[in-house]
Structure 1
Amino acid sequence: MALGKSSTKSVAVIISSVRPGRNGPKVAGFIIDTLKKTLPQDVSLKIVDIAEWKLPTFEQADIPFLIQSPELYSNELATRWSREIGSHDGFIFLVPEYNGSYAGSLKNAFDYLYHEWSGKPAMIVNYGGRPVEMLYGGKHFTDILSQLQMKLPSILPKISIATMDREKTAAGQELVFYEKSVEEQVRSDISNAWEDILKNLQVSGVSPANA
C-alpha cells in the first residue's frame, strides 16, 4: 500500500504487533489518514507489517553491523528483509505497549539489521490501553533508535486505547475516540512529528497539489 505520486522518498509505516486481534492496522490507518492530505508529491508511505514477514527469533551467526549488502546475509529471509527495509528512506514505528515497554516482535525484527536503519529519519507512535502518561514503550524504543544515530523528532505521539469506544473500534476498521478534542490532539502530535521527518528527509513539505 503506497500513497503519493512520486516515490522519490519512501517512508515505511511499520506495524510491529503480531498478535491476533491487534490494533496495529487500525493505528496505521489512523496515521495515514492524518498525513495523506498534506503528503508531499515526492514522498510515499508504505505499510510494512512485521506479522506478514514471520521472522523467527534472531539466532543467526551473522553480525548485522558487519554486513554492508543484502546478499551477504546467510539467510534468504534476512536478505529479503534487508532489501525491504533498505528500500525506505525513513520510518514510522507503531509501538504497542506490552508490560511497560515495546513488543518483543519489534526488537526482534529490528535486530536482524543495522545499516538498513542507521542514520535514517524516524518517528514513533506509542499506543496501549493505559493512560498516555503510563505508556513507556515509545521512550524505551527511542533509546534503541538513538544507538543507531537515527534522526528523531522531539515529539513522541501517544494514543491511549482507554480514550476510545472499544466496542465501536473493535467492530470497525477505524479508531473511534470518545472525545473529538482528544483525537484532534493526537492528530496534531502526529503531524508535528511528521514535519520533523520531512525536514530530515529534506523535502519541501506540503505539495500544492495535495494542499
Structure 2
Amino acid sequence: MAAGMSTPASVAVIIPTVRPGRNGPKVAKLVIETIQKALPKGVTLKIIDLAEWKLPVFEGAEVPFTITNSELYSSDISRRWSREISGHQGYIFLVPEYNGSYAGSLKNAVDYLYNEWSKKAAMIVNYGAQPAEALKGGNHFTGVLSQLQMKVPSVLPKVSVSTLDREKTAAGEDLVFYKEEIKSQVQDEIALAWQSMLRSLQLSSVSPASA
C-alpha cells in the first residue's frame, strides 16, 4: 500500500483521441485499474476525455505564457479549459501514435495553456500498432512536456495493438491481450512510471493560474 500524500492531489487521466472506435478509453481503464493498486491516500483520479470537450483549433489572441489567471483568457472555452487543468496537480497523458508522432488533438489541447501545465508532474502511456511505433508518439510528446518544464518519468509504458485480440477488444470495454504475461508486463511498466510520477508529485509546484 502506498503511503499517503502530505497534501491532497488530483491527477487527471487525459484521453486525447476523438475519433469513433478509438482505444483511448480502454487504455485509460487499464491504467486506472493498475495504479489504483498503489494509489496513496489523498490522491484522486479524474478522466478528462477530449472527445467530450470538443476543443476547437486554438486561435486565442493572447499568448498563453503571459496568462496567470483563468479569467484573463478572451474565449469562454479557454477559460473553462484553464479552470479544469488548473484543478489538477498531475497528468497522465495517453499518447497514441499517429503517422509517427502523437495526435493533433492532444497538441491542440496542450497549446491552449502554459502556466496551468508548467512544472507539474506528468506521465505518458503510449499505444500504437507495434511496440516501436507505439513509442514514437510518446518520444515526440516528451519534448513538448519538457518545453513546459513538466516532470516526466523516463519509463514510457506502451501498449502494442499487435498484442491484442482485436475482435474481443472491439466488442467490449477492455483491452483483451492474447497473452496474460504481456498484460502483466504492460502493467508493471505502468506501475513503475506511476511510482516515479508520485515522487515528482510530492515535489511539484502549484500552478500560478487561478481558478
**Structure 1 CA distance for aligned equivalents of residues 156 and 50 of structure 2:** 21
Question: Structure 2 CA distance, aligned partners of 1:137 and 1:154?
Answer: 14
Aligned equivalent of 1:207: none
Q: In structure 2, what is the equivalent of residue 132 of structure 1?
A: 131
Contact 1:93–1:122 (Cα < 8 Å) also in 2: yes
2:70 aligned residue: 70
- Could you tell me which residue of structure 2 aligns to residue 162 of structure 1? 162
**2:207 alignment partner in structure 1:** none
Counterpart-to-counterpart distance in 2, 1:44 and 1:132: 30
Report the Cα offset of residue 37 of structure 1.
1.9
Aligned partners of 1:201, 1:123: CA distance in 2, in Å? 11
The alpha-carbon deviation at position 7 of structure 1 amounts to: 8.5
Q: How many residues were matched structurally? A: 198
Q: Which residue of 1 aligns with 2:13?
A: 13
Residue 18 of structure 1: SS of its match in structure 2? Answer: coil
Kindly provide the amino acid, as one letter, of the partner of residue 84 in structure 1.
E
The code of the aligned residue for 1:109 comes to A
Alpha-carbon separation, structure 1, partners of 2:188 and 2:90: 20
* Equivalent-residue separation in structure 2 for 1:28 and 1:134 (angstroms): 19
Alignment-derived partner of residue 49 in structure 1? 49
Show structure 2 runs of 5+ residues with no match: 204-211
For normalisation by structure 1, the TM-score amounts to 0.91
Match of residue 188 from structure 1: 188
Q: 1:144-159, aligned counterparts within 5 Å?
A: 144-159=144-159
CA distance in 1, matches of 2:163, 2:26: 15
| Alignment partners' CA distance in 2, 1:63 and 1:84 | 19
Aligned partner of 1:105 in structure 2 is 105
Determine the C-alpha separation between the residues in 2 that align with 1:196 and 1:79: 31
Query: Matches of 1:38 and 1:95 in 2, distance apart?
Result: 22
After TM superposition, give the deviation of residue 201 of structure 1 in Å.
Answer: 1.4
Three-state SS of the structure 1 residue aligned to 2:41 is coil
Query: Could you list the per-position Cα deviations for residues 113-162 of structure 1 after superposition, in whole angstroms to 9, with x for gaps in the alignment?
Result: 00000000101011012x21223000000000001110011100111011
1:93 aligned to 2:97? no
Residue equivalent to 1:206: none
Answer whether contact 1:7 1:44 (CA < 8 A) is retained. Answer: no
1:8: Cα distance to partner?
A: 1.0
- Considering only aligned residues, what root-mean-square deviation do their CA atoms show, in Å? 1.5
**Which stretches of structure 1, 4 residues or longer, exceed 2 Å deviation after superposition?**
none
- Aligned equivalents of 1:198, 1:173: Cα separation in 2: 27
Mapped partners of 2:195, 2:60: distance in 1: 37
Contact 2:102 2:140 in 1 (8 A): yes
SS in 2 for 1:93: strand
Secondary structure, aligned partner of 1:202: helix
Query: Conserved in 2, the CA contact under 8 Å of 1:58 and 1:112?
Result: yes
Matches of 2:119 and 2:188, distance apart in 1: 26
